[in-house]
Every structure is written in C-alpha cells, then in structure tokens.
C-alpha cells in the first residue's frame, strides 16, 4: 500500500495599501500560481497590517477590494486556494495578543522594518508599528503553515515567527508548526528604477521609481526611459551595476528568457533600445492582468461572495489551532 505524501501548507498575503507594483506582481503574487497545484495554499489581503499608517476609510475599503481582485487577476483560483480578507477572520487578532505575551521586546526592537517605517512616519510611531511582526506571526502560525513565500526583506519576520513558535512549543508541547521562508529564485526582489540599490516600493515618494500595475502603457514607457543605469552602456550584468542588473532581471522575467539570453539578445545594443524593449515586455505581461482586474472591480457582488467563502473556510482552519492554544494557556473562550 502506497503512503500518501502530505502536501505542504503555504500562506502569504499582500497589503491593500494603495498601488500594486511590478515588484509585488513579479516578486510575490505571480510565483504563488505555481504553488496552487502542489501545495495547500491560503492567500490573504492583510488589511489589518495596513492601519499601522493612517488610512482614509473609504480608500482602504476600495483598496481591499482591488487587492483581492489583483489576486484573482494574477491567476489565483478560489477552487484551489483559500483566498480571504484578514479582518474577516477575528482569530488573527485574538492569537496576536496571546503571542504578544510570548514575544520579547528586544526581538521587536531589532526588526529593521520598524526602524525604516518609524523614520518615514515620525509623527505616528504607534504601538502597532512596533508589534505588527507579532500579528504577522499569528497570521502564519494560525494555519499551520509549513512555508511562507516572502521577499528577501520579509525573511526576518518569518524567522521571528519561528522563534515564537519554538518558544511556545518549548513550554506547551507541539502546538505550532514551525514555518520556513520560501524565497523565489528569480524576481524575489525587484529594485527601484530611480534608486536601483533599493527595493521597488509603492511608498516611494518618487512615482518614477516604481511601475504600478495600473500604469498606462505610456506611463510604463516613460518610466523605463528614465530608469537609472550607468556610463558603461552595455547590457551586461556586473558587480555594482545595480541599474542594469535590475533591468535585465525585469526583462528576463517579462519576456520569458534567462538573463544570459537577454544579454546575448542585446549584445552590442545601447541602453535606449533596451529600455524600450523592457517597457514593451512589461506592458504585454501586465495587459491581461490589468484588464481582468478592471472587470472584477465592476462586480462587487461576486467579490463579496468570494469574501464570505474565503472567510468561512479560513475560520474553520484557524479555529482548530486557536482552540488548542487557548486550552494550553488556560484561556476560557
């Protein structure tokens, strides 16, 4: 009799904090598609994380719908994966408080993103900004996730979730699955077009630094033409050549080539021609995604139905873990 191989459980999410960038699409969501057939996947719109920075309520609601539509447009299938909105599963915040009591102040003080966000939001350094990695740990541990697809910059948060899980398990036994970070081999970190030594970010005040998936073809072409490169004018990767390394990475993913093939294809050609080719490849890659998102946003009733379906399924899974945690810690529910 053959032994059935247990499928890995995977969880990840995106914040509905406005612009959905090329970096989000290439570095995260597009890679999730490949996991759907081989793993048990849960993907969420992490709207509770977004309010660490002040939000306009109506805009946050609209962005939550759009982020969910983005997941669907990127190819995530509600029949294969559990797609849900974080705030519609209250177990996340309930487990977060319990895990706060098993997380050390020093651990949170070392989180690099807290330092970065504090510098950018000096007038609103709130407790949520400090403790949101614990909510992220709750997101992960609540579902018994074996693996968490993340960008390189988020690996530290998965490591914290592992530390919290091991600490809790050391006290109460084998309660939590200890997760592993899952970092894509290509496109894991798409860099800024204007400052290519830094990650492409939707919070960047310079709109020319990132490609938004909602950008028009003209916008995309203009931004690539302005992308920072260097004075060597050769389409070759190299140490310290952040700008051209980033463009080669983007083109290779959008055009379906390897970086080596990209270099060979543009051997002897200048940056001007290569930047236009990058723009054209990205425009074609994003076209069906943008069109499907727009269609979905016109059908709120359909999205609301998927919200309910996802929340119900996620809540059933989460309840099993949360009940066990409460029983172990003596919390009466």
* d(C-alpha 309, C-alpha 215), whole Å: 31
Rounded-to-integer distance, Cα 192 and Cα 208, Å: 9
- Tell me if residue 324 is catalytic: no
Residues 6+ apart with CB under 8 A from 261: 252
Catalytic annotation present for 275: no
Q: Tell me the C-alpha distance between 95 and 142, whole Å.
A: 7
Alpha-carbon distance of 73 to 30, in angstroms, equals 10
Instruction: Let me know if 155 is a catalytic residue.
Output: no
Nearest to 223 by CA among 288, 292, 291, 280: 280
Cα–Cα distance, 12 to 312 (Å, whole number): 18
Considering the candidates 80, 155, 189, 202, report the single residue annotated as catalytic. 202
**Which 3-state string (H, E, C) describes 17-64?**
CCCCEHHHHHHHHHHHHHHCCCCEEEEEECHHHHCCCCCCHHHHHHHH
CA distances (Å), 16 to each of 49, 53, 263, in order? Answer: 9, 12, 36
82 and 306 Cβ atoms separated by less than 8 Å = no
Helix intervals (H) in 7-46 = 22-24, 30-32
Tokens of 22: 């090329």
Given the structure tokens 């083109």, which residue do they identify? 251
Q: Is 83 helix (H, G, I), strand (E, B) or coil?
A: strand
φ and ψ at residue 305, rounded to 5 degrees: -65, -40
Q: Which helix (H) or strand (E) holds 225?
A: helix 217-225
User: What six digits make up the tokens of 10?
Assistant: 């995977």
Tell me the three state secondary structure of residue 49. Answer: helix
Catalytic site positions: 117, 199, 202
């Amino acid at each position: 009799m053959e032994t059935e191989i247990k499928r890995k459980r995977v969880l990840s999410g995106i914040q509905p904090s406005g612009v959905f960038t090329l970096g989000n699409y290439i570095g995260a969501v597009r890679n999730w598609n490949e996991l759907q057939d081989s793993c048990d996947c849960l993907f969420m719109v992490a709207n509770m994380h977004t309010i660490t920075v002040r939000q306009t309520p109506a805009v946050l609601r609209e962005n939550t719908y759009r982020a969910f539509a983005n997941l669907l447009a990127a190819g995530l299938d509600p029949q294969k994966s559990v797609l849900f909105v974080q705030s519609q599963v209250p177990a996340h915040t309930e487990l977060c408080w319990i895990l706060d009591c098993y997380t050390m102040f020093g651990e949170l003080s070392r989180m690099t993103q807290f330092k970065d966000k504090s510098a950018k939001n000096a007038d609103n350094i709130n407790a949520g900004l400090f403790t949101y990695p614990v909510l992220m740990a709750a997101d992960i541990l609540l579902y018994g996730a074996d693996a968490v697809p993340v960008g390189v910059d988020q690996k530290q948060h998965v490591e914290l979730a592992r530390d919290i899980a091991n600490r809790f398990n050391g006290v109460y036994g084998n309660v939590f699955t200890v997760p592993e970070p899952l970092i894509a081999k290509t496109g894991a970190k798409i860099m800024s077009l204007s400052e290519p030594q830094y990650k492409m970010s939707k919070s960047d005040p310079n709109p020319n630094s990132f490609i938004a998936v909602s950008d028009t073809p003209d916008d995309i072409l203009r931004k690539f033409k302005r992308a920072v490169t260097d004075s060597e004018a050769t389409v070759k990767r190299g140490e310290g050549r952040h700008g051209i390394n980033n463009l080669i990475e983007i083109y290779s993913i959008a055009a379906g080539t390897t970086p080596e093939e990209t270099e060979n294809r543009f051997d002897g050609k200048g940056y001007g021609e290569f930047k236009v080719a990058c723009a054209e490849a990205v425009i074609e890659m994003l076209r069906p995604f943008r069109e499907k998102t727009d269609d979905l946003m016109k059908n709120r009733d359909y999205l609301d139905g998927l919200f309910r379906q996802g929340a119900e399924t996620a809540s059933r899974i989460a309840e099993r873990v949360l009940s066990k945690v409460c029983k172990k810690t003596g919390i009466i529910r």
